[in-house]
Chains A and B, each alone.
Chain A
Amino acid sequence: MKKRYFTSLLVVFVVLDWALTFWQHYHLPLDGDLAAIVLPAPWYAPVLHDPFGWAVLTKNAVYSATNRFFAHATMSLYWKTVPRLLQHFMSPISSLYAAAALFATATQAGLTLGLAAYVRRASGAGRPGYWLVAALLGPLFQTASRLYEQLGVTDHAITYTFFYAWPLLLVLGLFWPFFAAACGGQPLRLPWWRVLLLLALMVVIAFNGPLAGATVAIVLLGVGLRWLWGLRHPSQRAAWLSNQALGLLFGLGLLTLYSLYIGRNNNENDYSHTLGELYQLLPLGIARLVAMQVGLPVLLALVLANSLLVRRLVPGTPGRERVRRLLGWVAAAAAAYLLLLPLGGYRAYRPYLLRYDTFLPVTLGLLFAYGLSAYYLLVHLRGRGRGTYALVVGLFTGYFIVSDLVFRLPFDNGCERWALDELARAPGPEVQLTLDCTVMAWGPITTTEQSERNAAMLEYWGVTPGRKLYFQR
């Protein structure tokens, strides 16, 4: 009875955390890439007509987002349907923000529960343990605090939640059967329908942009090394790497390589820096990100301390070696990802390569490592050690809760909402807005031509009764 009460409390806590996330995202402005991708704008049309980039292979075509078909298609489908559905319950303007908040919150909830499921599988936790891990991880997802700039997972610009966090949630789903088989020490043997589902998911992930592709590549690199090790040392062969698993992962590898290859023809790539220059930027990028806020250094320190505690304080406990091995794999994968990051190229808006968004695979790896090690210690430490450790974890969690406990965002969408309201009520086809905030843009819109795509999108959503161009002055 007591355990059930505890679990219910944890569930309530996790759901409240998501409710706060929803509230925060509901008050964020819309970004400047949304309409261009959803409509789409002429420069994003080719990728929707050529999902697998045959034109790159056959004609060496160069266009935008060559290997991101599913990111564009998902976003377009979502934004063309969900706001209209929501308009049965709310105004057209509110439906836009609710749609953004729903997607961001669902993605965060999926990642929280997905990571907790991985921890549960690795640690053998029961239902209360699962929700305890979810409660430990939930507050680490920062939206409104300054820690967002360092550890943010769901982006303030909803477009980039579709392009970064969402594909990584799919990656978690993709690797789940392999991870479960590895933890169970059983050869992977899936029924045909699950194989088909996995194959479909592989295709979706491969053509979802470089972040998911790079993450998959790093995992495959690790699996490949493990497989080679098994070939050289047959007694230490990984049992889960059945022929089916190898075949699937080989297929995934080929798809990922193909995707990365056609991604070279993305005309948004910036070749202004040589690879050497990019590698010179990397240490600075790492240093800047770590020093930016206290959240990441503390998280790193806690994971490191956890790994030492697991090694020293709980010898001989069941599952200890697996926890240590997994922490080692996370560290190795994070290091490999950071070392290979310069191969991903340069973007002017990300001058030191590393930012919360490109750091996202490492952030999720850190969250998994923290969740796994903290849960393991909370279960296996004994006596005063457990009490002291629980206090440390409580303080750490409390710090993240308090940091992100923001109900009134300083950069909220009130101004944009008002601008859209004015636009909706204005009688003419061209409207001057005097508000100086961004309106579905990255900066002020100074000519009506700049508003064409937004105007078309707002008309489609039913926010404006017809197409209304606008400019700000």
Chain B
Amino acid sequence: MKKIAALLGLSLLGACSSDNATGPTIDANTITFNNFEAGGGWSNEPNRNNPSLVAKGKAHSGQYALRVDKDHEFSLTFDMPLGQISNSKFKTVHLEAWVYMASDKATGTIGLQIMKPDGSEAVGGDDLKFRDVVKDYGKWVMVTKDFTLPENITAAQHMRVFMWRADASEEVLLDDVKLSIKD
């Protein structure tokens, strides 16, 4: 009887737990969340992707994180038409991400650009310089920023978000990037 009670208790505890207890909140305002676990090795053009753009084994969560270093000036890029992100005009985008900088010699930037529909030219944008916000090195640090978009955005324009190594060559890692519409 005691064993049955113990088993029942365990099964109830199991029912109360969640597979995604530490996951982010994804709601209607979330543009994207990426922990890059699904990105390792995947590409829309097989044999043409660059597996070294994701670093394995050094992530903030899971196994994979984005990387820039002396061989990689830009990271993988998020690119989506604004009208696909939302069918209502939005003014501000909120970014949350985890950054790893090995030392104070590292530099890095997250850039957010609004591109013309054909991608030929940026019509607006802003960036988040890691040097301004990351003061602890050799550990993962959470960074956040609100990006205000230009007044005249159109649905056909694209939003691009990417990491740039700036002028240093030390490795910088980026993980668990969440982008959401603030207003």
Contacts and interface: CB of A to CB of B under 8 A. Distances in A.
A415 interface: yes
A414 B89 contact: yes
Interface of A: 412, 414-415, 417-419, 421-422, 425, 432-437
Given A434-B81, A435-B83, A418 B156 contact: no
Contacts of B86: 414
Nearest to A437: B87
Given A422-B154, A422-B155, A434-B156, A417 B89 contact: yes
B81 A415 contact: no
B89 A425 contact: no
Contact of B152 (A425, A433, A434, A437): A425
Interface string B38-81: 00000000000000000000000000000000000000000001
Centre residue among B87, B117, B156 by max chain A CB count within 10 A: B87
Contacts of A422: 154-155
Interface string B104-119: 0000000000000100
A418 B87 CA distance: 8
B155 A418 contact: yes
A414 B87 contact: yes
A420 B89 CA distance: 11
12 contacts: A414-B88, A414-B89, A417-B88, A418-B88, A418-B155, A419-B155, A422-B155, A425-B152, A433-B155, A434-B156, A435-B83, A437-B87
A421 B89 contact: yes
Given A434-B81, A434-B83, A418 B152 contact: no
Nearest to B157: A434
Nearest to A431: B154
Contacts of A419: 155
Contacts of B155: 418-419, 422, 433-435
Interface string B126-165: 0000000000000000000000000010111000000000
Contacts of A432: 156
B29 to A, nearest CB: 11
A94 B10 CA distance: 57
Centre residue among A412, A414, A418, A425 by max chain B CB count within 10 A: A418
Contacts of B81: 434
A190 B81 CA distance: 66
Centre residue among A421, A432, A436 by max chain B CB count within 10 A: A421
Nearest to B151: A425
Contacts of A421: 89
Interface in B150-183: 152, 154-156
A64 B156 CA distance: 39
Contacts of B83: 418, 434-436
B57 to A, nearest CB: 42
B158 to A, nearest CB: 11
Contacts of A437: 87
